[in-house]
Amino acid sequence: MGATTLVDRIEAVLDKKSNRVVGRLMKDVDLFGGIKEVCRRFDIQAAQFQCIGSLRHATYVQLEKTSEGVLQYTPKIVSDTEVELLNGTGFVGYDLNDELDVHFHGMFVDCHKQIYGGHFLDGENPVAITIEFILLPVENVELKRGPDQLTNIPVFQFAEKE
């Protein structure tokens, strides 16, 4: 039996009537990488998605306020155990380099029975058992990262497709 590839570890089906994609990511697939692969497979340019499941660890950041009152993100936080993703919601669009990009927030419980959540990081959230998802493509909307007018932090900008 040969080695499995990323494509072999993703199940995804398009419901043509609702134009929604449902499926699951299997063990060791990165959460963001798997969602981006599904988007490429179904030629999805912009979407909202939800998911639940388990991760070998969660890698995320949270907001914090500096002593000067400025909002910033914490240094990267990595859970010390596997986690059950209780709720996860995100958007798919394009980054400043025109590559598929995911913005995702999730809440999870770890093996110590502690609940945490935050802004998850790309490439650092491998599936433990399964992640089940639904992707809701939007056809006439462009999601592209750009600097926020007030904070200059790159965030998704929402516009009608031309």
Q: Are strands 127-137 and 47-55 parallel, antiparallel or unpaired?
A: antiparallel
pLDDT in tens, 2-34: 555 667 899 999 999 999 999 999 999 999 999
Q: To the nearest whole number, what is the mean pLDDT of the chain?
A: 94
> Which pLDDT value is given to residue 4?
59
CA atoms of 152 and 83, how far apart (whole Å): 33
pLDDT in tens, 31-70: 999 999 999 999 999 999 999 999 999 999 999 998 998 8
* Per-residue pLDDT band at 151 (split at 50, 70, 90): confident
The β-bridge partners of 147 are 154
Q: Please, are residues 45 and 36 in contact by the beta-carbon 8 Å criterion?
A: no
Our CA angle for 123, 41, 118, nearest 5°, is 30
Measured CA distances, 153 to 54, 82, 157, 159 (Å): 30, 30, 11, 18
> Which pLDDT value is given to residue 95?
94
Q: pTM of this prediction?
A: 0.92
Q: Please, are residues 48 and 90 in contact by the beta-carbon 8 Å criterion?
A: yes
For the chain, which domains are there? 14-160 (3.30.1330.80)
